[in-house]
């Protein structure tokens, strides 16, 4: 075994001290660094506005006579004989293009039923003899709160679907033993004088965490 050289020993002591000093400094600076950065860094996210309340509304689009009766609302508007004469059913007038002329008292009515608005004879549905009721073409009188029977007299398959629950809006219980199904009637969605469902505004689409990547063809999220 070689005898240790005292000067070499001293030299290695010095090196160790420098190392230790350096490490201490590194650790201290790390301590300070961690102390100030211990909170996890949260990347800034784009602000996404809450969706407008109108898109969360699930109430029916329209109210029917039956709804008004149920809500005990004012039904005086539905008394035709407040203005009309019972003995004289009102005459329907057409212009030269066979388009119906809507009298100014009924200006709120938009007539657009059937292809090319061909269902333009009021008495196809309204009862000529008693304007407060409706009438199926076979002569059966239908009350205002029983519209499906009237509509179904022409739209048979749709009535069949509706009765089976396959057409129209439902809510409540799918399990009839646990609760009732609430089934909306024809006029809750369709305006009888213009039954096409009108177009409406679409609710906002998806927002992404980051800008949409190139394979998503969009500029719409904003």
For another protein, the binding residues (CB under 8 A) are 17, 20-21, 23-24, 27-28, 30-31, 34-35, 38-40, 42, 45, 47-48, 50-51, 55-56, 58, 61, 161, 164-175, 177-179, 184, 189, 197, 199-209, 212, 216-218, 220-221
Taking the least distance from each CB to another protein, the nearer of 47 and 138 is 47
Closest CA to 189 of 45, 16, 63, 25: 63
Taking the least distance from each CB to another protein, the nearer of 66 and 80 is 66
**Least Å distance between CB 52 and another protein?**
9
The kind and range of the H/E element at 28 are: helix 6-37
**Least Å distance between CB 143 and another protein?**
24
Taking the least distance from each CB to another protein, the nearer of 58 and 97 is 58
Q: 4 in helix, strand or coil?
A: coil
Is the four-CA dihedral 143, 147, 152, 153 of positive or negative sign?
A: positive
43 phi and psi, to 5 degrees? -70, 145
Ramachandran quadrant class, 168 (left: phi over 0; alpha: psi -120 to 50; beta: rest): left
**Least Å distance between CB 53 and another protein?**
10
**Least Å distance between CB 134 and another protein?**
23
Taking the least distance from each CB to another protein, the nearer of 17 and 132 is 17
194-199 contacts, C-beta under 8 A, 24 or more apart:
194/110, 194/111, 194/112, 194/113, 195/113, 196/112
Neighbours of 203 (CB within 10 A): 10
Taking the least distance from each CB to another protein, the nearer of 20 and 75 is 20
**Least Å distance between CB 27 and another protein?**
3
């Amino acid at each position: 075994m070689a005898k240790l050289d005292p000067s070499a020993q001293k030299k290695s002591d010095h090196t160790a001290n420098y190392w230790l000093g350096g490490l201490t400094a590194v650790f201290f600076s790390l301590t300070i660094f961690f102390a100030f950065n211990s909170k996890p860094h949260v990347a800034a996210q784009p602000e996404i506005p809450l969706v407008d309340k109108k898109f969360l509304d699930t109430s029916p689009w329209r109210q029917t006579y039956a709804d008004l009766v149920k809500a005990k609302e004012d039904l005086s508007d539905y008394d035709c004989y407040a203005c009309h004469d019972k003995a004289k059913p009102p005459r329907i007038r057409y212009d030269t293009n066979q388009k119906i002329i809507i009298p100014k008292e009924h200006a709120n009515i938009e007539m657009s039923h059937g292809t090319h608005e061909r269902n333009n004879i009021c008495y196809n549905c309204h009862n000529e003899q008693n304007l407060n009721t409706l009438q199926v073409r076979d002569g059966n009188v239908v009350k205002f709160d029983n519209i499906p029977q009237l509509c179904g007299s022409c739209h048979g398959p749709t009535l069949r679907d509706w009765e089976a629950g396959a057409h129209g809006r439902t809510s409540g219980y799918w399990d009839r033993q646990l609760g009732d199904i609430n089934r909306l009637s024809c006029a809750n969605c369709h305006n009888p004088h213009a039954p096409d469902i009108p177009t409406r505004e679409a609710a906002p689409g998806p927002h992404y965490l980051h800008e949409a990547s190139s394979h998503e063809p969009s500029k719409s999220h904003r």
